[in-house]
Amino acid sequence: MFMCRLLFNILLSTLLLASCGRASKGKESDVRSVKVSTVESVDFEERDFAGMATADDATMLAFKISGQVASVDVGKGDMVSRGELLASLDPRDVELQVASDRSKYEQALSQYERMRRLLDHDAVSKQEVEVAEAAFVQARSKYENSKDLLVETKLRAPFAGVIERTYVDAFQRVDAGQTILRLVNPVSTTVEFTMSERSMSLLADSTTRYYVRFDNYPNHRFAARLDSYAKTASDASGFPVSLKLYKDETAGYRITPGMTCQVTIRASEPTSNLVAIPLTAVYAPAEGGDYVWRVNAEGRVVRTPVQLGNIFGRDMVTVVAGLSKGDVVVTAGVYRLTEGEKVKIIK
């Protein structure tokens, strides 16, 4: 009997020790592994905006006179050189006008020269000569104007570019000033975007720097300069701003109107009071507010309220208050943590 009780006690002790060991191992395995980031100071504040390349030169072309379209010599997408014929009007009406005005001009010229010869022989008065001269000048002006109108029956390209769109067809009658086609320069060094009112102060600082990164060239950042901006906004979309790329930087890259890009504006003044964290570190619970999970010296997470600044880069945001340089914050799974939870940092 004594021997049986002794064996029972030994077996019970072994089971208890094994159970404690498993419990200990299970508790250790419950520690959550997290990715973290060390808070860094921001040397310069950057703000990003969505932009688009626009045409350096673009114009709506039209005839200065009315008439019937004889031909449209280009189509959408055609490349044209400066001075190339784009469209023409039927010139017959204008040619008849030119012939009539030429006849009147030659008649007035002949009459004026005759009156001058008669004046040399005192056969006419000086006043009669002046009347003939006035008629000659008027006829000459009318003739030269009609010759200019004949030139205007030909529509030519004012600069080299691409036909973006045509608006009329051959044999269609058009009025003076009616749009015939749109010509654009296919090479762009202009970028346009809109910005909010709170960022407008950056434009007034001549030391602010501008950079552009096109979606087609994600690995290259182009430097740019401020070209113009509107001080009033026509709608709620923001204030329109225009930048110019440096031509020596765009050499070797084909930048055309319509290409999308990201515009980065860098403030010239160092902002030593600001720090930055990844956007994934921000915890915004349903009850409101912005927080991060800061990892303390004991390896536990502490929910810390923060005041966020501006988003910059692709995934960073500045922090105005709540964190200091060197703090460690969780950057993944922030919605699964609880206050004071023990975590294991993934190296």
Long-range contacts of 230-235 (CB under 8 A, 24+ apart): 233/197
Nearest to 177 by CA among 95, 93, 61: 61
Match 């720097």 to its residue by tokens: 209
Asked if residues 316 and 331 have their Cβ atoms less than 8 Å apart, the reply is no
Other Cβ atoms less than 10 A from the Cβ of 188: the count is 22
**C-alpha separations of 339 from 82, 162, 293, 333, 334 in Å:** 71, 63, 8, 14, 11
Whether the pLDDT of residue 24 is over 50: the answer is no
How sure is the predictor about 235, in pLDDT bands with cuts at 50, 70 and 90?
low
Tokens 């017959």, residue located: 92
- CA dihedral (110, 115, 117, 118) positive or negative: positive
- Nearest CA to 245 out of 71, 74, 56 is that of 56
Which tops the pLDDT comparison, 88 or 315? 88
- pLDDT over threshold 60, residue 333: yes
DSSP letter, residue 165: E
Stronger pLDDT, 5 or 157, i.e. the higher one: 157
Query: Mean pLDDT across the stretch 118-139?
Result: 89
Do 210 and 224 meet the contact criterion of CB atoms below 8 Å apart? yes
Question: How does pLDDT run across 287-316, given as a tens digit for each residue?
Answer: 889 999 999 988 899 999 998 887 776 678
Residue-range domains of the chain with CATH: 30-44+273-345 (2.40.420.20), 91-152 (1.10.287.470)
| The total number of residues written for the chain in this structure | 347
* Distance in angstroms (rounded) separating the CA atoms of residues 63 and 280: 58
Q: 210 near 223, Cβ under 8 Å?
A: yes
What is the spatial distance between Cα 191 and Cα 58, in angstroms, rounded to a whole number? 14
What does the radius of gyration of the chain's CA atoms come to, in whole angstroms? 40
Q: How many of the other CB atoms lie within 10 Å of CB of 133?
A: 15
Q: Which of 238, 255, 346 is nearest to 299 (CA)?
A: 346
